[in-house]
């Protein structure tokens, strides 16, 4: 683990920060440009498909015989990003769990506000179950808003009487759209990617007049009882640090098996920078071990 790596990454991210006061279309373009700058590893195959009429990107890794499925939810504050842009990070989870990753291309706000993303995520999971996939062979994973959506989908599935996946992995989860976390303000200078202004600017796009504290919008306020094992990873240099801390506490109080992994000195969704950051690869390895153990237990 290298302080120099952390400093280099911080500088790179600050140079590429997406302005909070630009249009949604411009933010989408800038994010696509930023994430597309790094080509996908040559051993990945990404195929467009659908689950329950929801578009997906299926990601397989050469040489990895998929025995399980990672249902993956991308980040982007429910407004930005898409399934294919998260293909590498989804594949990193798949590599470590002998799984095919299916990244869900849920509808985005403001064109499709809440509950569109929630409905799409559940529809994709329901379709996976209806195809004959054993839920014991499924894990959920996601970054940022996708980490929150993974938790929301488990809560939604539980409440509808559906069987739950074997485990879930939330990277830098965005779980409180009321923006009440203490670190939203206290970590603003340390965070090279997100700011209170950037988050606040997009909340109304997604909530569209609904209460941001609704449990399926902000799962920090949901009843988490009965959820499967959960691993949460977050960097100490994040405005969303407190979201992760409070989610872990809420899960523990609900008797959910939860592992909270706070990595010092790293930014939001630091796992995405695994080619240049030792902490990222190590964190992905730890998550892979956690998830594989739960898949093996229930398989």
Which residues are part of the catalytic machinery? Answer: 144, 238, 268
Burial tier of 17 (Cβ tally within 10 Å: 0-12, 13-18, 19+) = middle
How many C-beta atoms lie closer than 10 Å to residue 96's C-beta? 20
**DSSP annotation of 226:** T
- Which residues fall within 8 angstroms of residue 114, CB to CB, at 6 or more apart? 78, 206, 207, 208, 210, 214, 216, 217
Backbone angles phi, psi at 73, to 5 degrees: -120, 120
Beta-strand relationship, 68-73 and 258-263: unpaired
What is the chain's alpha carbon radius of gyration, rounded to the nearest angstrom? 17
What element of type H or E holds 150? helix 145-159
Nearest alpha-carbon partner for 90 in 98, 81, 79, 100:
100
How many C-beta atoms lie closer than 10 Å to residue 210's C-beta? 15
- Which residues fall within 8 angstroms of residue 227, CB to CB, at 6 or more apart? 151, 154, 155, 158, 164, 168, 251, 254, 256
């Amino acid at each position: 683990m290298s302080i120099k790596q952390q400093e280099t990454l911080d500088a790179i991210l600050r140079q590429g920060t997406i302005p909070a006061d630009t249009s949604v279309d411009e933010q989408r373009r800038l994010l696509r440009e930023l994430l597309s700058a790094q080509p996908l590893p040559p051993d990945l195959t990404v195929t467009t498909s659908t689950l329950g009429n929801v578009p997906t990107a299926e990601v397989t890794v050469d040489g990895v015989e998929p025995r399980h499925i990672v249902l993956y939810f991308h980040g982007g504050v429910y407004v930005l990003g898409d399934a294919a842009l998260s293909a590498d990070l989804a594949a990193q989870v798949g590599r470590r769990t002998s799984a095919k990753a299916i990244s869900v291309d849920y509808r985005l706000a403001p064109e499709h506000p809440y509950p569109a993303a929630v409905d799409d995520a559940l529809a994709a999971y329901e379709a996976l179950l209806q195809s004959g996939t054993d839920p014991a062979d499924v894990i959920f994973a996601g970054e940022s808003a996708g980490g929150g959506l993974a938790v929301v989908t488990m809560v939604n599935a539980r409440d509808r009487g559906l069987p739950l996946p074997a485990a879930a992995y939330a990277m830098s989860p965005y779980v409180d759209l009321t923006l009440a976390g203490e670190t939203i303000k206290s970590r603003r200078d340390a965070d090279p990617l997100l700011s209170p202004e950037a988050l606040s600017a997009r909340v109304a796009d997604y909530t569209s007049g609904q209460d941001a504290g609704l449990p399926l919008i902000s799962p920090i306020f949901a009843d988490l009882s009965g959820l499967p094992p959960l691993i949460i990873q977050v960097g100490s240099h994040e405005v969303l640090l407190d979201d992760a801390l409070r989610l872990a506490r809420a899960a523990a109080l609900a008797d959910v098996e939860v592992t909270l992994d706070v990595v010092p000195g790293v930014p939001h969704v630091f796992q995405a920078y695994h080619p240049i950051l030792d902490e990222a690869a190590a964190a992905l390895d730890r998550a892979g071990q956690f998830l594989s153990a739960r898949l093996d237990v229930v398989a």
